[in-house]
Amino acid sequence: MTDFSIKSTAFKEGELIPPKFTCDGDDVNPFLEFRGVPEGTQSLALVVDDTDSTRGGIFDHWLIWNITPGTQYVSEDNIPSDAVQGSNSWGKPSYGGPCPPLGGVEHRYRFIAYALDTMLELPAGSSRLDLEYAMTGHILAEATLLGRYARTKEY
């Protein structure tokens, strides 16, 4: 059993994600904190997705891996120096904030952190499927932070 967790100062578990971190604001990643990284962790990976996507299936907003296990924080609008980013569902190797259809229903966004027992030999721009395949058999622990967002007006 591990106490591995991911938290943010921008929003708490189950709360609304502030517009600043969405397509309606600055579209930058929020400050994130990793706690209780398990012993033996060689790297961390992070996936941000929308499980309520109206585009069919899960929509990926951010894929990032090979985060040094001693990393306690991912600063706002920043990525750790040695980390590698994959392609999100827009086809971009970057963070893309929540952006559900205007006037639609609220969507749930998962910030999923993985503690891995290896560094991943995966090139920048790789897909979620590539990332999941590379992580197979290497996940020591997983932690999730859930946020919500709905586009009720244009900003």
Domain spans in the chain, listed from the N-terminal domain onward: 5-149
Cα–Cα distance for residue pair 71/94, rounded to 1 Å? 19
- Say what the pLDDT of residue 2 is: 66
> Which tokens sit at 16?
């609304």
Angle at 81 between CA 67 and CA 77, to 5 degrees: 95
pLDDT, averaged per 10 consecutive residues of the chain (155 residues), comes to 89 97 97 97 98 87 97 96 96 96 90 98 97 98 97 71
- Say what the pLDDT of residue 53 is: 87
Element spanning 60, H or E: strand 59-67
Cα–Cα distance for residue pair 30/37, rounded to 1 Å? 20
- Say what the pLDDT of residue 56 is: 77
CATH superfamily entry for domain 5-149 = PEBP-like (3.90.280.10)
- Say what the pLDDT of residue 155 is: 55
C-beta separation of 109 from 49 below 8 A? yes
